[in-house]
Amino acid sequence: MIDRGNPVPSVPVKLVGVDGATDITSDAVLGTGLVVFFAVPGAFTPTCHVNHLPGFVANQVKLKAAGVDRIVCASVNDAHVMKAWAEASGALGKIDFIADGNGALAKALGLDKDYSGAGMGTRFARSALLIRDGIVDAVFVEDAPGVTTSGAPAILMALEAAQN
């Protein structure tokens, strides 16, 4: 698993935004400034859709005020699903989305998790990273169902603690 001090890997992904999907590499998306990167098992899945993503949408202004340059959400879903989810959640234009359709980024980060028991295959483990200029500053991985350590409130607290 990626750890503090490691550079973000360079893996082909699709960046989903207002104008659609663009082919790019993960280090190009995550490599500049202070980035909050959070990963979810699946777009539109109950916990991701109701608990995880909405916290980042609701706290976008606070995160930016804390010095965050970019907020990025990733999932092992295709770009069409990620765009539909961004639109449906009101996050499009506020948060950037990475479609990691084949799970290459999840594997490269060591944040891949087998959800075959739920019929979902290999996905991202629910997690978040603080990344400064392409170097991981902090890693937050959920060890139980739900959103605690990788949610927006926990990330805000970590950012505040780092400033003090």
Catalytic residues: 48
Q: Which pairing describes strands 34-40 and 70-75: parallel, antiparallel, or unpaired? A: parallel
The DSSP call for residue 116 is G
CB 47 within 8 A of CB 147: yes
The one-letter amino acid at 115: Y
Coil, helix or strand at residue 101:
coil
